[in-house]
Chains A and B, each alone.
Chain A
Amino acid sequence: MMDNILARFSANVILGVSWIIAWQHILYANEIPGDGFTAGILMLVTLMLWYSVLGYRMASKKIPDKIFHICLGAGAFFLWVLMLLPIFLLPDGRLLQSFTVPFFGRGFSSTLFFDLAIFMMVGGGTLTFLVSSQEVEP
C-alpha cells in the first residue's frame, strides 16, 4: 500500500471517473462496436491501478473478491443465454431487437445486453485471476 495520500486520492478519483466512462461506453453500445469489451478493459486497468495503490488487503476490504467471481459467473451465464437463444429457440435464428425507452427517447438494441455481459465477463474473469494471485500479508 502506498502511504502517499495524494496517490490514494488520485486512485479513488480515477476509479470513479473510469466507472462513469465505462458505463457511458456500455449505454452507448449501440453507437460504437466493441464497447462492452473496451469498458471491461478500462475498468480492469483502473482497478489494477487502484489495487496497486491501496494494497490488496485494504482494496479487498472495500471490494470483496467474491464480487469478481459473481461478475464472471453472471457474465458467462448471460452470454450463454444470449448465444444459445438464437441457436435453439428463436424462430428465425435472430435475437436482435431494437426498442426505444419511453420518455427517455433514446433507442437501444439487444446488443446492449451482450455488451453488458462481455463487460462483466472480461472484467470479472481477469480480476478473479489477478486477485487470486495475491497473497495476504501475515
Chain B
Amino acid sequence: MMDALEVTSAAHRLWLVSFLLPFATGIGLALWPRRWDSVAKNLALPALSLSALALTASLVLLPANGDFATIWRQTWIPALGLDLLIARDGLSAMFAILVSWIAVTVVLFARRYLPHANDHEHSQRSESAFYALMCLFTGSMLGVVSAGNLLQLYLFWEATGLASYMLIGYWAHHAEAREGAFRAWAITVAGGVAMLVGFLLLGTNMNHWSLSALVNGNAPNGILLEITTILILIGALAKSAQFPFSSWLPGAMIAPTPVSAFLHSSALVAAGVYLIARFFPLLHTAVAWEYLLVVPGVAGVAYIGLLAVRQTKIKALLAYSTISQYAFMFIGFGLATVTGVKAALYAFFVHSFIKAGLFLVAGSVTYLTGLKELDQVGGMGRTHKVLAVGGFLLGLSLGGVPIMGGFYYKEELLYAAMENRSWVLFGAMLLGGLFSLLYMLRFLNQIFFGPGDDGVGMPLPRTMAAPMILLAGAALLTSLFPNWMNTQIINPAIAGTLRHPEPMAVELEFSFILFASLLVISLGLVLWIFWKRGHVPYKLWTRIPLHFHMGGNYAVKAYFGLSRMALSVHGGSLGFYLRWVLGILVVKTAIVWYLAPFPEAYPSAIPWLGESTLLLAGVCVLSVASLFLKHHLALAMLLSVLGFMLSGVFVLMKAPNVAIAQVLVETLATVSIVLALILSTKVDPIKSTMEFEGMRNLKKWGIALGVGVILGAGTYFAGGAFPDNGVGPELANLSLSVAKPDFVAAILTDFRSLDTVIEIVIFGTATMAAAGLFWKRKRAR
C-alpha cells in the first residue's frame, strides 16, 4: 500500500512527465535529420500518447480539485521574489486532458493525411518539422495551463503563438499561408503584449507573481482593477479570435487540417478561455468584465454565426462556427454568475471534441476527394458510411439538435441568461442557435447528400477513421449521458474557477427555455426546407452586405503602416543616420543634465597621467589632423595609428592585457576597413578622395561639438563618480571568490548576463548579415 505522500508525489511526477515529454520530443524532432523523416511520426505519436497517459494516471492517482496546488517549485529571480512554479487544479486538469488527448487523435490522423496533403499541395516540407511543431505546441499549451506564475504564463502563452504561427505557415510556398500565419501572429501577439502589461500592473501592485496567491487573494481596487481587466481580456479576446480580433482565425484555416482540428478545439483559441476562467475570481467584479465579454459575445453568436452560414469552403464554415461557439462561452463568463461560469466550462468541454471531430471529417473529405469547396462535394453519405455516421453525430451535436451535446450546453447558457434577466442576451443566443443549426445542416447536406458520388473507390484509412470515430463517440456519450464526465472533469474545473465546489447537473426540464429552443429549432428546419426548395435562394445570403475583416484587420494595417514609416526613415544614407542618432544623443543628454545635473559631490578624480599625457596629446593632435586628410586609405592608416597610441597609454597605465587586446583589435579593424574599401565598387582606396566641408555646415558642427562636450564631460565626471562602497568592489570580490582573477568574465556571465545575451545577438546578426551580403553577390554571379 502506498501512503498518501507517495501517491501525491507520484501523481505530481507524472504530471511533470506529461508536461516535459512533448517539449523533449519536439526539440528532438526539430534536430531530426531529413533523411529519417518517415520515422518522425513513429516517435511523435508514442511520445504524445505517453504524455496523455501520464497525465491521466496523475489525475487517477490524485484527482484534481479547486485548490491550485504547486507541484514543483524552483527559485528563479530572487530579487523579484519570483519562483518557477508548476501547479495544477481542476481547471488546468480539464484543459490538460483535452489538449493531450486531442493532440493524440490529430497526430494519429496526420500519419496518413500529411504525406497525401503534402503531395496535393506540392509541398516539399519535412514531416518531422510538422511533428516537432505539434509536440512543441502541445507542450506549450500544457505549459500555459500548468504555469504557476504570471511571467511563466506569458512565456508559454507566446510559445503557443509561435508554434501556431509556424504550423499555420507550414505550406509557406502559398502566399495565403504566409499571410494567414502573419495575421494570426500579429493579432495574437498584440493581444499578448496588452496582457503582459496587465500582468505587470497586477504583479507590481499586488506584490504577488504567483497565480495561486493572486486568485486566492483580494481583488485590486478601483481603477487598477478596471485597467488590468481590460488589458488581460484584450489578450483573451485576441487569442480566442473574438470580435473585433476575429479576422485571423478564418485565415488560419490554410494550415493542414490536423493543425486546424487542434487549434480550433483545445489549443490556442482555448487559451483565451483558460485565461478568463483562471482570472475569474480576481477580475469578475470589474465593470469592464461584463462589457468586454458580453458585447463581443453577442457580436460573435449573431453576426459571425450568420457569416458562417454563407461560407463556401468546408473549413471556412467550421472556422466561423468556432468563433461563434466560443462567443457563447464568452457570454457565459461575461454574466459573471455561478450558472454562467458552469455553463461556459461545460460548453468548452463538449465543444472541444465535437469541433476536433468535425475538422477531421473535413480533412477526410479533402483526402478522399481533393475538394475543399462545399458546393463541389456531394453524395459521400452513399460512398463512405462510417464517415457519414461520425459526421452526423458531430454535426447535429454542434447544430444543437435536441438531446445532443451542443443542445445541452446551449440550454445551460440560455438558463444562465434567463436567470440574470438578460433578455437581449437570451435573444442573441437563440439567434446564434438558429444559425448554428442552419450552417451545420448545410455542412452535412452538401457533403453527405446531394448529387455525385465523390470519393467512391477510395477507402478511408483506418488511422484516419479511428480518431474521428473516437471523437464522435465522445459526442454520442455526451448526448446519451450528458453528465458522464461531470464528477471527474467538469466539477473540479468549476471548483478551480469559482474557488469553491459547485456541482454541475445537466437535466432536460420542460420549461420555457426548452420551449423557446424547440421553437427556434423548428424555425430553423422550416427555413432550411424553404431554402432547399429554392424559396430562400442561397444568393440572398450572399447579397447581404456584411464585411468580416473589420477590427482585427486594423492591427495588421497598423503594423504595415508602422513598417512603411520605419522604412521611410531608413533612407540608406549613413550621414543621415549619424545625424539623427547623435542629434538625439545631444538633445537627450541636455534634457537629462537640465533635469538632474551632476552632483557637486563628484569632482573629477582623474589623476595626473604622467608619461601617458604625451601620448594622449599626440592622440588629440592626430585626431584633429584626420579631419583634413583627403585620401581614404591615408585616413584608415591614421586612425589605426591613433588606436596603437591608445594601446601605448594602456601599457603605461599598467593594463597590458587591455593593451594587447587593443593592438589586436586595431589590426583587425584596419584590415577590415581596407578590405571593405577594396571590395567597394565605388571607392578606390588609393585614388579616391573625400571632400572636407570646412565650416559650411553649421548643423553638423553643432552636433559634433555637442557629442564631444558630452563625451568629454562624461569621462571627466565619471572619473570621480565612484562611491566608497560602490558596486564595483562588491562585484569584484564576489567574482574573485569563485572565478580567481578572471572577474571580468564572471561579471559578464553572471551579473550582466542579459546585456551579454543582447551583445551576442547584435554581433551574430551583424556578422551573418555582412556574410549574407557576400553570399548573395556570389550567387548572383
Q: Are B661 and A96 in contact (CB under 8 A)?
A: no
Q: Are A111 and B739 in contact (CB under 8 A)?
A: yes
Contact A109 to B770, CB < 8 A, known contacts A45-B668, A83-B757, A92-B75: no
Pairs across A and B, CB under 8 Å, 7 listed: A30-B739, A36-B745, A41-B661, A96-B735, A107-B740, A111-B749, A115-B745
Q: Which of A96-113 contact B (CB under 8 A)?
A: 96-98, 107, 109-111
Contact with B along A25-40 (1 / 0, CB 8 A): 0000111111111100
Pairs of residues from A and B, 10 with the lowest C-beta to C-beta distance, nearest first: A33-B744, A111-B745, A41-B664, A125-B767, A132-B774, A30-B740, A132-B771, A96-B738, A91-B75, A83-B753
Q: Are B76 and A88 in contact (CB under 8 A)?
A: yes
Q: How far is the CA of A126 from the CA of B754 in the complex (A)?
A: 23
- Chain B residues with Cβ below 8 Å from A41 are 661, 664-665, 668
A80 at the interface (CB under 8 A from B): yes
A74 at the interface (CB under 8 A from B): no
Residue of B74, B742, B748 contacting most chain A CB atoms (<10 Å) = B742
Residue of A83, A88, A135 contacting most chain B CB atoms (<10 Å) = A83
- Give the Cβ gap from A28 to chain B, nearest Cβ, in Å: 9
Contact with A along B513-531 (1 / 0, CB 8 A): 0000000000000000000
A interface residues with partner B (beta carbon < 8 Å): 29-38, 41-42, 44-45, 48, 72, 76, 79-80, 82-84, 86-89, 91-98, 107, 109-111, 114-115, 121, 125-126, 128-130, 132-133, 135
**SS class, residues of chain B in contact with chain A:** helix
**SS class, residues of chain A in contact with chain B:** helix
- Give the Cβ gap from B733 to chain A, nearest Cβ, in Å: 13
Contact A128 to B767, CB < 8 A, known contacts A32-B657, A45-B668, A83-B760: yes
Contact with A along B57-86 (1 / 0, CB 8 A): 000000000000000001111110000000
- Chain B residues with Cβ below 8 Å from A114 are 745, 748-749
- Give the Cβ gap from B578 to chain A, nearest Cβ, in Å: 23
Q: Are A94 and B661 in contact (CB under 8 A)?
A: no
- Chain A residues with Cβ below 8 Å from B753 are 82-84, 86-87, 95
B683 at the interface (CB under 8 A from A): no
Q: How far is the CA of A92 from the CA of B78 in the complex (A)?
A: 7
- Chain A residues with Cβ below 8 Å from B672 are 130
- Chain A residues with Cβ below 8 Å from B657 are 32-35, 38
B775 at the interface (CB under 8 A from A): yes
Q: Are B668 and A44 in contact (CB under 8 A)?
A: yes
B538 at the interface (CB under 8 A from A): no
- Give the Cβ gap from A93 to chain B, nearest Cβ, in Å: 7
Q: How far is the CA of A87 from the CA of B671 in the complex (A)?
A: 37
Residue in A82, A93, A126 whose beta carbon sits within 8 Å of that of B767 in the complex = A126
The chain B residue with its CB closest to the CB of A43 is B664
Residue in A79, A126, A128 whose beta carbon sits within 8 Å of that of B668 in the complex = A126
Residue of A33, A42, A79, A109 contacting most chain B CB atoms (<10 Å) = A33
B764 at the interface (CB under 8 A from A): yes
The chain A residue with its CB closest to the CB of B657 is A32
- Chain A residues with Cβ below 8 Å from B754 are 83, 87
Residue in A33, A72, A97 whose beta carbon sits within 8 Å of that of B742 in the complex = A33
Beyond A86-B753, A130-B672, A132-B771, list 7 extra A-B contacts (CB 8 Å).
Answer: A29-B742, A34-B745, A45-B668, A45-B671, A96-B739, A114-B748, A125-B764
- Give the Cβ gap from B20 to chain A, nearest Cβ, in Å: 14
- Chain A residues with Cβ below 8 Å from B778 are 132, 135
- Chain A residues with Cβ below 8 Å from B742 are 29-33, 35, 109, 111, 115
- Chain B residues with Cβ below 8 Å from A76 are 760, 764
- Give the Cβ gap from B460 to chain A, nearest Cβ, in Å: 45
Q: How far is the CA of A86 from the CA of B738 in the complex (A)?
A: 15
- Give the Cβ gap from B326 to chain A, nearest Cβ, in Å: 33
Q: How far is the CA of A89 from the CA of B745 in the complex (A)?
A: 19
Contact A111 to B767, CB < 8 A, known contacts A79-B756, A88-B76: no
Q: Are A80 and B78 in contact (CB under 8 A)?
A: no
- Chain A residues with Cβ below 8 Å from B771 are 128-129, 132
B605 at the interface (CB under 8 A from A): no
Q: Are A45 and B664 in contact (CB under 8 A)?
A: yes
Q: How far is the CA of A73 from the CA of B675 in the complex (A)?
A: 24
Q: Are B77 and A93 in contact (CB under 8 A)?
A: yes
Contact A109 to B660, CB < 8 A, known contacts A72-B764, A94-B750, A132-B775: no
Q: Are A31 and B744 in contact (CB under 8 A)?
A: no
B592 at the interface (CB under 8 A from A): no
- Chain A residues with Cβ below 8 Å from B79 are 93
- Give the Cβ gap from B151 to chain A, nearest Cβ, in Å: 11
- Give the Cβ gap from A64 to chain B, nearest Cβ, in Å: 15
- Chain A residues with Cβ below 8 Å from B775 are 132
- Give the Cβ gap from B654 to chain A, nearest Cβ, in Å: 13
Q: Which of B726-778 contact A (CB under 8 A)?
A: 735, 738-746, 748-750, 753-754, 756-757, 760, 763-764, 767-768, 770-771, 774-775, 778
- Chain A residues with Cβ below 8 Å from B675 are 130, 133
Residue in B739, B748, B756, B764 whose beta carbon sits within 8 Å of that of A98 in the complex = B739
Q: How far is the CA of A89 from the CA of B775 in the complex (A)?
A: 38
- Chain B residues with Cβ below 8 Å from A121 are 760, 763-764
- Chain A residues with Cβ below 8 Å from B745 are 29, 33-34, 36, 111, 114-115
- Chain A residues with Cβ below 8 Å from B664 are 38, 41-42, 44-45
Q: How far is the CA of A92 from the CA of B661 in the complex (A)?
A: 33
Q: How far is the CA of A44 from the CA of B771 in the complex (A)?
A: 16
Q: How far is the CA of A115 from the CA of B749 in the complex (A)?
A: 10
- Chain B residues with Cβ below 8 Å from A37 are 661
Q: Are B658 and A34 in contact (CB under 8 A)?
A: yes
- Chain A residues with Cβ below 8 Å from B660 are 38
- Give the Cβ gap from B164 to chain A, nearest Cβ, in Å: 23
B667 at the interface (CB under 8 A from A): yes
Residue in A87, A98, A125, A129 whose beta carbon sits within 8 Å of that of B740 in the complex = A98
- Chain B residues with Cβ below 8 Å from A111 are 739, 742, 745-746, 749
- Chain A residues with Cβ below 8 Å from B770 are 129, 132
